[in-house]
Amino acid sequence: MKFLQRLYPPLAFFGGFAWDALTIGQRVRAMDLWVLGGFLLGAGLLILWLAWRAAGNLAAPEGEGLRGRLASVVWQAPYLLLQFLFGGIFSALFILYFKSSGHLGTWLTACLLGLLLVGNEFIGKQYGQRFTLIWALFALNAILLFNFALPHALGSLDPLWFYVSTVAGALLAHGLWRLAPGRPGRIFPAWILVGALLLAWRLDMIAPVPLVKQDMAVGHAFVREGDSFALQVEPAPWWQFWRDQASTVHVAEGGKLYGVSAVFAPLGVTAALEHRWEIREKEGWRQVYRNRFHSSGGRERGFRGYSWVLNPRPGEWRFIVATQDGRTIGIFPIRVERGSPLPEELQLREF
């Protein structure tokens, strides 16, 4: 029984995370955001109650025997509930931001959320002594949730809403701090988080939520018939089991190289997207072609776009799908070599 008790926390943690991974992130549903909003509301009310208890200078109960242990559990229960609420929000947001990440900068931000998710399991005991930590975590949860919910509710990905939602999350935390009896802890770390997130936004390290990259491919003989998009791709070697296609494509002299992307946006959200084709030169990456288009959300497999480059010269290329205001959704690196792949070696991909 003691062995099983030691296993329970990690099993509960990874079990809950696995459930979120299976039920959240393939697409963003309004219900997911309502549930997370309920978690945030519950956390806010619980923090106010804990502040009221702290203002009353109530001491933790002490005692031995069953009654003493029961009183101790009741005293600690609000902190455990707060840890659960923060963990639920962090888990869902980590998955959503990871699904929306398409390059190194945004993956680093998603990994930071993952570290906070794990750290929440270890710092929960500090909630009772450090209200400053509570306010900072609440502000971060509110900001990241509002970053998702506001564009979703307004049906717009205008960069203005990121700034509005970021400040709104910090204002919510600040307002609760002012309402809290005795105003325990400090609120300025919440505003430091605002500055850090705005800097990360400028550096393109914030994923373009609520957009989620579903698929990207580069290949030959693109065909569009009605609602069907089809592309022939060169398969990856058998040992590269993690790749959907080869990292090298062969294009004959004067031939075309096509790129296709599928990006999920929630129903009612319209996004201005673009494809960019870039080649690596001595001075760095140089843009060769740019194709702009608009997407409408709601399609289960994502809104699709396609573009091509004519007679791409051999070298290192990358096919990028991004918002028109510069936020990167996905990058597909590829090496172009001269040649013509055998038709029987190509695989058909449908979008």
- DSSP per position, 226-276: TTEEEEEEPPPPTT-TT-SS-SEEEE-TT-EEEEEEEEE--TT-EEEEEEE
> Are residues 190 and 220 located together in one domain of the fold?
no
* 329 Cα distance to chain centroid: 11
Q: Total domain count for the chain? A: 2
> Are residues 73 and 111 located together in one domain of the fold?
yes
Residue 253 in domain: yes
> Are residues 165 and 28 located together in one domain of the fold?
yes
Domain end point (choices 148, 174, 202): 202
Residue 93 in domain: yes
> Are residues 234 and 272 located together in one domain of the fold?
yes
Higher pLDDT: 292 or 225? It is 292
> Are residues 81 and 100 located together in one domain of the fold?
yes
> Are residues 196 and 341 located together in one domain of the fold?
no
**pLDDT given at position 120:** 65
Residue 325 in domain: yes
31-80, pLDDT tens digit by residue? 778 888 999 999 999 999 988 888 876 666 665 666 666 766 676 778 88
Domain end point (choices 202, 237, 260): 202
> Are residues 239 and 90 located together in one domain of the fold?
no
Which residue segment(s) compose the domain that 88 sits in?
2-202
DSSP assignment of 68-117, as one string? HHHHHHHHHHHHHHHHHHHHHHHHHHHHHHHHH--SHHHHHHHHHHHHHH
**pLDDT given at position 167:** 96
Burial of residue 199 (number of CB atoms within 10 Å: 0-12, 13-18, 19+): exposed
Specify the pTM: 0.76
**Which three-class secondary structure state does DSSP give residue 60?**
coil
